[in-house]
Structure 1
Amino acid sequence: MSAPASAQDWNMDWGGFHNTHVGYVSVDSNTAAHVGADWDGVDTFTNAEIHFTPSVKLDNGLTFGVNVQYESKNTGGAIVDESFMFIESDTLGRIQLGNENSAGYLMMVGGADAQVGGAFGINSASISGFIPISTGVGGNLPWNFRQSAISQWTEVLGNNDVPRITYFTPSFNGLTLGVSYAATVNGGLSAANSPNNAGNNAGVNRNIGVTDIWDIALGYEQSFNGVDVAFAARYGTAENNTGAPGTNDPEVWGVGGTLGVAGWIIGAHYGENDNGGLAPDQEGWSLGVGYDIAGPWSVGFDTFQGEWDDNAGGEAEYEAYQLAASRSLGKGVRWTIYALYAEGSINGDPAGTFGNANTEVEGTLIGTSVNLSF
């Protein structure tokens, strides 16, 4: 009779990051909500989290652990962001159970991976921290979270950190497969200030709403002869039970890659959200180029381009460009300077989908950041 698996001491690990930006922004806008507004001036923006990741490795080789991530800014979405258990080993791969993004989201690579450390996140909703480009702050773009017009990291219909089951295979010569399942796109009984973070479902009625979200992703990472290569492809879909006329099942897909050689790194991606008539369709692409100069400095350029299409003649566009330079000041401390330009435009809106026909919001930001990782 074999002996039961016994636990070793728990590794009570923790870490996180705290990135603070200070910048001067100049904004031009002709949306109705911005009439008479003056957005020019100096401001700050902080993105920060604390991560608790305790784990224990059993005698049978399995590691059990949890990952709990706390937002240190309430405007970041929730006090608790991701929260999940994981089980992993070299032969099993990795299982994740709880509130976390899908395998497709987690495995995607692209232009943002070539971005200079500490530069501003132009491929995220964070840009509205300085430039009021989203409708939520009077701008003109429907800033749909986790969708292709603003980010390389996307989800089916923009679901985020819902209760989910994910499995990653072990790496076979750099090749990894990931698959995820979530019962619903909604967060259920989550924190009142953020309905898609760290909450349980309150039972899921498969006859209403959007349910049964599946994601599959393939990733490849390898280094040979001084060349680092990474590639990812993903697809996701869900069941549309809304009964809304003219709608169908939403889908998401994307491909991306990075190439590193002789201090250079180049990254790019392309992705689409076909939202099945439940929301405007979206597509986007990113490109980033970075170079590590001998010594503590690195420099780079990145861009993001996104489009919305309501399939009724209405279209919206987002474009952003950034130059950055970054210096390592020591372990886990980085100082960055950057200049960026971002613009949102509505080219036509006959169906009134976007509510801001023939408008533009554009801004230029000159900024610096101190970035701590621990």
Structure 2
Amino acid sequence: MKKQLLCTSAIALGVAAAPASAQDWNLDWGGFFQQHIAYADVGGNGVGAADFDGIQMFTNAEIIFTPNITLDNGMTFGINVQMEALNGGGGTDGIDESYMFIESDTFGRIEAGYENSVGYKMMVAAPQVGSMAINSPSASAFIPFTPAFAGGNFRQAGLSSYTEVAGNNDVARISYYTPSFSGFTAGISYAPSGAAAGNAANIAPVNRNAGIVDIFDIGVNYTQSFGTTDLTLAARWGTGDNQGVGGDPETWGLGFQVGFSGFTFGAAYAENDNPGGLDEEGYSVGVAYDAAGPWTFGLEAYIGEINDGAGFDDHYEYYKLAANRDLGPGVSWTTYLIYGETRNDSIATDIDGTAIGTAINLSF
């Protein structure tokens, strides 16, 4: 999913001070709407009696509310509430992320609420051209996963560089990001529990004798330009306390992007070590070219592997060739060719396919 960091902040702390008047608040909102249409050709013994060939449609869209206020001392307070534009997309009410933030140039940034960790948000991987992602489960809308594919676990390295401890997502969490020092930023996150009753849903009080609790994440990111060369480096690590069978879960990852003369090269490697097996690893690699004029072109791959705990592996292998054209402010057009394959060695099934697609992308 396309993440938008909308950081103009605010909620007033009404302690021993009169509340700010309504006109002092920036009642900001925005969002995005990506409508995909593709023709898919799908095969493999995992398809069975199903028929996934033909025209398919996929929508990724959110409305994002970011009211904020900046006080006289320079501190900005705000909230970020992201509402899925389709039913079944966030939690029970369609709300995805929902959190408060406090920030300033000298203080850094605090986020408290239901959001991904600093490690997830500071990670960098192969450049993505256009709005269809293969460094995530999105492409399975056109080329489905093979039956019993363990790599379908969300936020894990078998299908994405952007991982979380045991695949938790948008749980109650508090994060701190340092200010940028010569391009270097660090962050730390804490979540009481990895369990969730749906995205952005209260689970308090947390029972620390059950599940995965006390989750910590750290992340670092370095972004700098050297003449005509742009460089971004990122690393993340996280762990939690497992109260069930098996050891404690961990995740870690490394990534980079380097850009020059219109080209951007990038790659990342990540792992998830999970209690009770199903350890995952994967890497992304790709290149993008920002041509003169409105066009950008890209070639990208993601290769993932999942150990199912019984001596067999599941495999995720997707490739994408894409072009994206800017049509105007907040409007772009994407075309792409995707080949994807997933395999489950334990039951000897596979599904592979090719999809040719196009999308109109609106961002506001």
Match of 1:152 among 151, 161, 166: 161
1:184-199 map, 5 Å: 184-187=193-196, 195-199=197-201
In structure 2, the residue matched to 1:353 is: none
In structure 2, the residue matched to 1:285 is: 283
- Given the two structures, how large is their TM-score scaled by the length of structure 2? 0.92
The answer as to whether partners of 1:160 and 1:196 remain within 8 angstroms in 2 is no
The answer as to whether partners of 2:83 and 2:95 remain within 8 angstroms in 1 is yes
For 1:54-85, what per-residue CA distance to the aligned partner results, in whole angstroms no more than 9, with x for missing partners?
A: 11000111100000000001232331000000
In structure 2, the residue matched to 1:352 is: none
Q: Which runs of 5+ in 1 are unaligned?
A: 188-194, 350-356
Shift of 1:4: 6.5
Shift of 1:269: 0.3
* Residue type of the alignment partner of 1:214: F
Match of 1:104 among 96, 119, 131: 119
Match of 1:54 among 67, 85, 109: 67
In structure 2, the residue matched to 1:363 is: 353
1:199-348 map, 5 Å: 199-242=201-244, 244=245, 247-277=246-276, 279-347=277-345
Runs of 4 or more consecutive aligned structure 1 residues displaced over 3 Å after TM superposition: 3-8, 139-142
Distance 1:290 1:16, change over 3 A: same
Shift of 1:142: 3.9
Instruction: Check if 1:84 corresponds to 2:91.
Output: no
Matched residues, percent identical? 54
Shift of 1:346: 2.0
The total of aligned residue pairs comes to 345
The answer as to whether partners of 1:157 and 1:275 remain within 8 angstroms in 2 is yes
Give, in whole Å, the separation in 2 of the partners of 1:180 and 1:20.
34
- Given the two structures, how large is their TM-score scaled by the length of structure 1? 0.89
In structure 2, the residue matched to 1:372 is: 362
Shift of 1:39: 1.0
Q: Which runs of 5+ in 2 are unaligned?
A: 1-15
The answer as to whether partners of 1:318 and 1:343 remain within 8 angstroms in 2 is yes
Give, in whole Å, the separation in 2 of the partners of 1:142 and 1:229.
31
In structure 1, the residue matched to 2:10 is: none
In structure 2, the residue matched to 1:192 is: none
* Residue type of the alignment partner of 2:250: E
Instruction: Check if 1:178 corresponds to 2:190.
Output: no
Give, in whole Å, the separation in 1 of the partners of 2:149 and 2:109.
41
Shift of 1:360: 1.0
The answer as to whether partners of 1:14 and 1:50 remain within 8 angstroms in 2 is yes
Distance 1:140 1:164, change over 3 A: closer
In structure 2, the residue matched to 1:38 is: 51
Distance 1:134 1:199, change over 3 A: farther
The answer as to whether partners of 2:325 and 2:332 remain within 8 angstroms in 1 is yes
* Residue type of the alignment partner of 1:38: D
Shift of 1:199: 1.1
Give, in whole Å, the separation in 2 of the partners of 1:311 and 1:360.
19
The answer as to whether partners of 2:183 and 2:224 remain within 8 angstroms in 1 is yes
Shift of 1:140: 3.7
The answer as to whether partners of 1:116 and 1:324 remain within 8 angstroms in 2 is yes
* Residue type of the alignment partner of 1:128: S
Give, in whole Å, the separation in 2 of the partners of 1:221 and 1:267.
13
Give, in whole Å, the separation in 2 of the partners of 1:208 and 1:36.
41
Instruction: Check if 1:13 corresponds to 2:11.
Output: no
In structure 1, the residue matched to 2:11 is: none
Give, in whole Å, the separation in 2 of the partners of 1:16 and 1:287.
28
Give, in whole Å, the separation in 2 of the partners of 1:94 and 1:46.
32
Shift of 1:7: 4.5
Shift of 1:5: 9.4
Give, in whole Å, the separation in 1 of the partners of 2:336 and 2:209.
49
Instruction: Check if 1:168 corresponds to 2:177.
Output: yes
Give, in whole Å, the separation in 1 of the partners of 2:118 and 2:264.
24
SS at match of 1:12: strand
